[in-house]
A and B are shown apart, each in its own frame.
Chain A
């Protein structure tokens, strides 16, 4: 298994339950030693890692600030630096007003924020997040996305496992799809959305009269009612197609290039 992840990147790892996503994260964080082989960081040196596990368990009787102070101390902040570092993180995750709440009294969304806050303490180079949006309401999810986006802009590298394709679409720069313990697909998100959508030429009326003529140009051309679909291999013939349509007296209403759906690619990869 090989993964490349650079600065300013957010890699989303997708996969069905049992694909090995969480195991991969555990191996990367050193919680689980690999059964065989070894992990070799490309940069030669292990980055500083921040980790938010999927299921968040905290010492329930502790207060939010008390817990983060402990984590700051574990991350190497001196006693003098700790209060400022904790203040900054609390502000970043929007928990300043809840800093004196007992963790047991915090909602699921607040617990996600505490999980993210502890992962961020120590200024890690690589942030590993298991299901970061889990349990958050729509506004909470938006805020979480904004925080992760901001972290990316600050130069952080983020590796996240999720089931939520919307999170991947909104956040990730790259995706990897896992199935049965292996990475079966990797790509940048922009390439995914560019890659496989057919170009569609929508006309004002039914094209049955010139269907055979159009389809004879290339097998990648399909006529369906009032639209012509051009697959990637037939895209170079778009001018000819347009000329034929106009000469047959049809008006072209619009030309569309719908994005390939991440869901489709995901489903295709998993089925394979």
Chain B
């Protein structure tokens, strides 16, 4: 199994670095450097967070690229030799993480050499768990977005849920307040336009009250919890130290990644492997 995963990883990495995508990633990296670091000597927290975000982007998009390459009919003879399809998923994620890590380290090296941020050893030691956990999560989220893994409505469900969580889980419920205000404004306009619209206006007011009510507040706090690890990481980096609770954030991201990976594996194991003929 390890031998097959290693071989597949080598193969997918070979495909990735021999494809046009490599050029796009390098161009993207230079554009990102120009936008974020060209004009300044970064503070350590800026360095950690911005390159962490760079890793998230590369990890997400390189997973999509590798998944697209794996989704070609060239892969049939490889599939036949697997004892479990999960081997392919592991190789895919490993390839993308390896590629991201190399690009991220080169990017960091470029910033270190050209912009000379003042990094202490303590701050350098903070970096690996943060960057790695974010990269792994981004890569697994990208799996759900790729044609190789998802099919039918699965993608819509996963990303619909994610969008809902983003809306519901904002820190102070501002999005829901904003939505409720819109409903109330429409309700007021409808009520003013005549008695025929009163029922509609009442329904909108009731919806606005529901959105700002206790129930949605509780649901919002649950969704809010989903984004806590990201806030904890940002707060920890900005403060210059992690509290004992904040230190759990990378581990929590890895737990999210594991759940999404299991979901992807489940989709993948029952998928028709009719791959793209080129």
Contact = CB atoms under 8 A, between A and B. Distances in A.
Do A and B come from the same complex?
yes
A49 interface: yes
Most chain A CB inside 10 Å of its own CB: which residue of B4, B10, B18, B74? B74
Contact of A57 (B4, B72, B80, B270): B72
B74 to A, nearest CB: 5
Interface in B3-26: 3-4, 7-8, 10-11, 14-15, 18
Interface residues of A, number: 26
Interface-central residue, B7, B73, B76, B277, by most chain A CB under 10 Å: B76
A96 to B, nearest CB: 21
Contact of B278 (A30, A52, A53, A57): A57
B274 interface: yes
Given A73-B7, A74-B4, A74-B8, A118 B77 contact: yes
20 contacts: A26-B273, A26-B274, A29-B79, A31-B79, A31-B80, A32-B272, A33-B270, A49-B80, A50-B80, A52-B77, A55-B73, A55-B277, A61-B18, A70-B10, A71-B77, A73-B7, A74-B4, A76-B4, A119-B77, A122-B81
B174 interface: no
Interface in B183-199: none
A31 B81 contact: no
Contacts of A32: 272-274
Interface string A23-67: 000100111110000000000000001111101011101100000
B8 A57 contact: no
A75 interface: yes
Interface string B75-110: 011111100000000000000000000000000000
Interface residues of B, number: 24
Given A61-B18, A70-B11, A122-B81, A31 B76 contact: yes
Interface of A: 26, 29-33, 49-53, 55, 57-59, 61-62, 70-71, 73-76, 118-119, 122
B73 A73 contact: no
Contact of A59 (B4, B8, B74): B74
B278 A31 contact: no
Contacts of A61: 18
A31 B4 CA distance: 18
Given A51-B80, A57-B72, A73 B3 contact: yes
Contact of B77 (A33, A51, A55, A76): A51
A51 B3 contact: no
Contacts of A57: 72-74, 277-278
B273 A31 contact: yes
Interface in B59-75: 72-74
Query: Closest 4 A-B residue pairs measured CB to CB?
Result: A31-B273, A73-B7, A74-B81, A57-B74
A74 B91 CA distance: 13
Given A29-B79, A62-B14, 20 more contacts: A26-B274, A31-B76, A31-B272, A31-B273, A52-B77, A53-B76, A55-B73, A57-B72, A57-B73, A57-B277, A59-B15, A70-B11, A71-B81, A73-B7, A74-B4, A74-B7, A75-B81, A76-B4, A118-B77, A122-B81
Interface of B: 3-4, 7-8, 10-11, 14-15, 18, 72-74, 76-81, 270, 272-274, 277-278
A53 B274 CA distance: 12
A107 B10 CA distance: 26
A262 B18 CA distance: 49
Nearest to B85: A30
B3 A76 contact: yes
Contacts of B277: 55, 57
A49 B76 CA distance: 12
Nearest to B74: A57
B278 to A, nearest CB: 6
A26 B275 CA distance: 11
Contacts of A49: 80
A113 B196 CA distance: 78
Contacts of A76: 3-4
A126 to B, nearest CB: 11
Contacts of B81: 71, 74-75, 122
A71 B274 CA distance: 20
B71 to A, nearest CB: 12
Contacts of B8: 74
A30 B80 contact: yes
A74 B273 CA distance: 19
A51 B78 CA distance: 10
A145 B74 CA distance: 25
Contacts of A75: 81
Contacts of B270: 33
A51 B274 contact: no
A40 B222 CA distance: 47
B76 A51 contact: yes
B272 A33 contact: yes
Contacts of B79: 29-31
B173 to A, nearest CB: 45
